[in-house]
Amino acid sequence: MNKSSVWTIVGVVIAVIIAWTLVSILFSVLWFIAKLAVVAVVAVVVFLVLRGVFSKTE
């Protein structure tokens, strides 16, 4: 094995590690955004239900 192929293998391993980390971060951010959107929708629904319940009693 010559020096060039060793550096190629090292480069591929480093590239895979960096790609794995970036994809993991990206999916974490996307999952957070999806959870935030679901929480926002549920909060709006709960707000509307509570507003409807309390406006009928007055």
Q: For the segment 7-51, what is each residue's pLDDT rounded down to a tens digit?
A: 999 999 999 999 999 999 999 999 999 999 999 999 999 999 999
What separation in angstroms does the CA of 24 have from each of 17, 29, 33, 54? Answer: 11, 9, 14, 44
For the chain, the structural domain boundaries read: 1-58
Q: What is the DSSP letter of 8?
A: H
Which one is predicted more confidently, 4 or 9? Answer: 9
Say what the pTM is. Answer: 0.66
What pLDDT shows up at residue 57? Answer: 64
